[in-house]
A = this chain, B = another copy of it.
């Protein structure tokens, strides 16, 4: 899967397929250039199932959610979405009632062209915040995309949803199960959790297995929770994040309990590969770090510690500098454990903290571990890797969590300081 990451394990019953949302049977897609993006870049895509589906969707929890998020979440049939229309280059966020009307118009036109009920069409947008959609370009774009839908259209669709991503994020798996062969496909975009004028995290998932809407929803939400909800580039949640998954049963393979478990496992691997790709492609990023926190008193404490370390600019710059600066890891974890006004904290916890980079312990029981023969060189090698395992053990319980994060670099500052409105 793209990119090759040792953080992702392909299930034994899965083989990679043509990396496309149209890899599963009876899905069609298209991507066109409307002129919203410059230089003729593809910027509007439609993805559609030729058959009715079961579906599920997750959305940003940002209170400044964009118009397409609000429209799809609040007036859509999220359990039987059959098509999505996506535009890139304009997020249709902070656009008020006119923005909601534009999103509804995008949905209506797409539904009319596809001859689907409006509520079965999801709308997603990504790009500049606060600018009105250029509907004079979007409307003919929808017509053009609807007219060019085809089984091999997944690649154009994937290109059309990109903004500042340096490479397309898509994947597909063919699953050889006892019940038969089913396929999964996915296309995603995102390289900051957000860079509000030109980014967002979107993902569209297709599947041709025959599954119930309850099973599909449960496995999609679970897979999102274990993939996209476990990454951070800069701690910033977009106004436009959306994941839509559609399963159309076109394989005619109905899954039993074992097959459902395998599909869930494969779905998680697929989404995790795309999520890790977003971290690796994080704005300015040179490294992806997998942080495991364990020994926490409860899940909330594990999460606080993980986010505190993963979002600490001091920890992130140290990784950029290839410096195993464990003092910053202990400080950030200690800050999270100390709590704030809203969360009850601990008075002292440093005494029982362990920190490891890969297999090298650098802190045990809150104190530095003298580096033995060769350990210094091994640590330097580890810090030069593109993917690094970081392990923080606190004490007091058995709750654990894992999170993936990128480093903080000059290129991040350049990209975000020099990008002007």
Which residues of A does B touch, CB under 8 Å? Answer: 60-65, 70, 93-96, 128-131, 192, 194-197, 234-239, 300, 303-304, 311-314, 317-318, 320-321, 323-328, 330-335, 337-343, 345-351, 353, 363, 365-368, 408-410, 412-414, 416-421
Contacts and interface: CB of A to CB of B under 8 A. Distances in A.
A195 B236 CA distance: 22
A94 B335 contact: no
B327 A129 contact: yes
7 contacts: A62-B338, A94-B330, A94-B366, A130-B363, A131-B368, A300-B341, A408-B413
Contacts of A409: 413, 417
A126 to B, nearest CB: 13
A366 B62 CA distance: 13
A304 B340 CA distance: 11
Nearest to A355: B94
A367 B130 CA distance: 7
Number of copies: 2
Contact of A194 (B326, B331, B413): B331
Nearest to A65: B348
Contacts of A339: 61, 63
A170 to B, nearest CB: 26
B65 A313 contact: no
B327 A130 contact: yes
Nearest to A194: B331
A335 B421 CA distance: 21
Given A196-B328, A325-B197, A351-B96, A236 B312 contact: yes
B408 A313 contact: yes
Contact of A318 (B63, B95, B192, B416): B416
A326 B337 CA distance: 32
B64 A350 contact: yes
